[in-house]
Amino acid sequence: MADVQVIPVHRRFSDLDPLGHVNNVVFHDYLQEARVGLLRNLDFVRGPGFAQVVVKQEITHRKPLLLAPEPVQIETWIEHLGNSSYSIRYRIIDEHGDCAAEASTLMAVVEPESGRPIRMSAELRALLEPLTIDA
């Protein structure tokens, strides 16, 4: 079984909304940073005959994130690996060790020209399987 990957992401002053919290839209940027950190190699995103796209992303906010010099720690892993899609799960942990948000992203493997879903190649599956943790 794989280990949860932890991706540090630094907050920026520009991430804050008028209430002094990290804006809810910025959480999507943080998830993208974690997703790229999890995959570690852009060959995962696009390869011969395939591309990957975000189909759905959900966030449940547990507590506000405030500006702090310490990065948030984003725990990330692949929860489900299907034939043409997979789900990534996240937990955003603040500088106190508290869970600020939980999230998920559904990724689809598509044919680049048409954007239609296609079966995941054996090579891509072999790269993703070590990142998968059964929930």
The C-alpha atoms of residue 98 and residue 95 are separated, in whole angstroms, by 7
Q: Where are the domains of the chain?
A: 8-93+108-131
In this prediction the pTM is 0.90
pLDDT digits (tens, 9 = 90+) for 69-109: 999 999 999 999 999 999 999 999 999 999 999 999 999 99
Cα–Cα distance, 5 to 77 (Å, whole number): 6
Residue 43 pLDDT level (bands cut at 50, 70, 90):
low
- Looking at residue 127, its pLDDT comes to 86
Grade residue 55 by pLDDT with cuts at 50, 70 and 90.
very high
Q: What is the per-residue pLDDT for 42?
A: 54
Is the CA virtual torsion 84, 108, 129, 122 positive or negative?
A: positive
In 3D, which of 57, 37, 43 has the Cα closest to residue 108?
Answer: 57
Asked if residue 6 lies in contact with residue 74, where contact means CB atoms within 8 angstroms, the answer is yes
pLDDT of residue 38: 87
CA 27 to chain centre: 10
Q: Helix H segments across 41-89?
A: none
Q: Which residues contact 1 (CB under 8 A, 6 or more apart)?
A: 133, 134
CA-to-CA separations, 75 to 48, 87, 91, in angstroms, rounded: 30, 14, 5
Could you tell me which CATH class the domain 8-93+108-131 is placed in?
A: alpha beta
